[in-house]
Amino acid sequence: KIYLILNITSTPFLQVSTKSSSNDDGHVFLKMDAGMTDVLRPSLYGAIHPITILPASGKSSDIGTSTESVVVVGHCCESGDLMTPKPGEPEALEERVLRKAEIGDIAVMDGSGAYCAGMSTKNYNSFPEAPEVLVDFDGNVHLIRKRQNLEQIYENELSADGIF
């Protein structure tokens, strides 16, 4: 198989860093540095993506066995930026039992490769488009789209001088 995927991996998933967590209103919220801008399906129709937390060290010996129930949210600070909705209910919170995460750990969202890249909300809240890679038949990884830089986000905007 050939996979078109977000970020550099060998299977189709989104890899993001854990940014923060909080315990408000009885929930532990796990905030990631990606969200509905990259994986829109949970926000649109309550799609469920398996999520795995891996240690920032990259060492399997650091994985640990502690778990916690969390609500996973993205970086957009929007009510729809929810990565763990109830199945089929995009506006309903659902806790998911995951490995206890620390800031900087990696969250892997399976099933969010090329399909989600095509649905991504381009430059929403000025977030850049994620890079994409292709994994070939031999498992070699090829960068096929670089992460968008800030200048590329604004390059088509024109001055409004003289309009008002």
Where in the chain does DSSP place strands (E)?
3-6, 13-24, 27-32, 51-54, 67-73, 85-86, 89-93, 96-99, 106-110, 132-135, 141-145
Given 77, 103, 143, 144, the catalytic residue = 77
Alpha helices in 30-146 (DSSP H): 41-45, 114-119
Residue 76 annotated to the active site: no
Backbone angles phi, psi at 110, to 5 degrees: -70, 155
- Residue 160's SS3 state is coil
DSSP string, 77-102: --TT-BSSEETTEEEEE--EEEEPP-
Give the catalytic positions in this structure.
77
